[in-house]
Structure 1
């Protein structure tokens, strides 16, 4: 899924988010995805018996300000490009919000790439998230967003 997303981003000239190389074969990315799986916060959406998207929830990344209340943090979200436009990402975000409710947590946060034309930030806003704070990691521009239950 990550490889198809990277390939699509490259085809759109949008390499600022995840670069231009596939995740497959990249030891750092392999460790990252394996870590998400091992920590138990990864969920896979399926359509017609095929993996269509992935969300990872857990602790906030260390490059964003800590929350002042209990939260559920969306560490990663990706949709296989074959299923673009099928609502997979929205369904996974809705699952994360529902999971926060099941855990008795009233705050869900996510961060994303805020460069280029800002379409990714707009996407999260269309899913009910509100901008909280811009940040940078090196030269990578990001936006922290939140959604209250």
Structure 2
């Protein structure tokens, strides 16, 4: 399903989007590092890490990927799944859910509210699937800016976790 709102087209993604998603992630790492954030995603571009490129490939083939395009160019990505990554220290919900596995915007398109558009799309997709729970986990460091971003989009913090020394926050939203 394609969704076009405000000049942004949201479409289903797939394996052919891997180079664009890796570019988005690489641009995010550079941007975060320039702001002094080397803890969230490290300092090495995703495209230079075989485990990360494999992860992106899995996301685009095993899950529900969506790409936001601006003037035909891939500008942001969202990946939905039916639960958290089984390797993550996060318990699955005791009911059906949709889980945001990835949300990233190419920094060239920052400020266009593409993350907001993709999260609204995630809510719609969750509702269309007849599921009432949408969850996400994110980095809880750096003063909680990312947690606050999700709260502004209707999510409520539910549980914290540590992945090694990486602080994480799970957030949930009820979809009616």
Name the Cα RMSD after superposition: 0.8
Could you tell me which runs of 5 or more consecutive residues in structure 1 were left unpaired when the two chains were aligned.
Answer: none
Are 2:103 and 1:80 equivalent residues in the alignment? no
- Secondary structure of the corresponding residue to residue 124 of structure 1: helix
In 1: Cα distance, 2:59 partner to 2:122 partner: 15
Runs of at least 4 residues off by over 2 Å: none
In 1: Cα distance, 2:166 partner to 2:118 partner: 25
Counterpart in the other structure of 1:11: 34
Matches within 5 A, 1:123-142: 123-142=149-168
When the two structures are aligned, how many residues end up with a matched partner? 149
Matches within 5 A, 1:1-149: 1-58=24-81, 59-62=83-86, 63-149=89-175
In 2: Cα distance, 1:84 partner to 1:147 partner: 24
- Secondary structure of the corresponding residue to residue 48 of structure 2: coil
Cα deviation for residue 61 of structure 1 reads 2.0
How high is the TM-score relative to the length of structure 1?
Answer: 0.97
In 2: Cα distance, 1:69 partner to 1:9 partner: 35
Cα deviation for residue 25 of structure 1 reads 2.0
- Secondary structure of the corresponding residue to residue 56 of structure 2: helix
- Secondary structure of the corresponding residue to residue 159 of structure 2: strand
**Structure 1 40/136 Cα, relative in aligned 2: closer, same or farther at 3 Å?**
closer
